[in-house]
Amino acid sequence: MLKLEFLETILIRFRQQRWPKVFLFALLGTLLLAPAVQAATGGTLDRGQTFALVLLGITTVLLSIYLFVVIFQPERF
């Protein structure tokens, strides 16, 4: 009974916060895109380098979207 209440509390807090979702989707995107990057490089990069490259790409895209929003909607910030 106590475990169920604890899990419900975690799920409620997870729904209210935004950053854990962003990190979760970034990691899932890394898992989905890493094999494609590995295949495109022809196996010259090892697995760790591939994951780092994909995370760098995802971070760059998210940062550019954030800066685009900040530039064109500064009143929100």
Domain spans in the chain, listed from the N-terminal domain onward: 21-76
Distances 21 to 5, 12, 42, 45 between C-alpha atoms, Å: 21, 13, 32, 29
pLDDT tens digit sequence for 6-19: 777 777 776 777 77
Distances 37 to 54, 61, 63, 71 between C-alpha atoms, Å: 8, 16, 21, 31
Query: How far apart, in whole angstroms, are the C-alpha atoms of residue 40 and residue 49?
Result: 13
Q: Which residue type, as a one-letter code, is found at position 45?
A: L
pLDDT tens digit sequence for 25-49: 877 888 888 888 888 888 788 888 8
pTM over 0.75: no
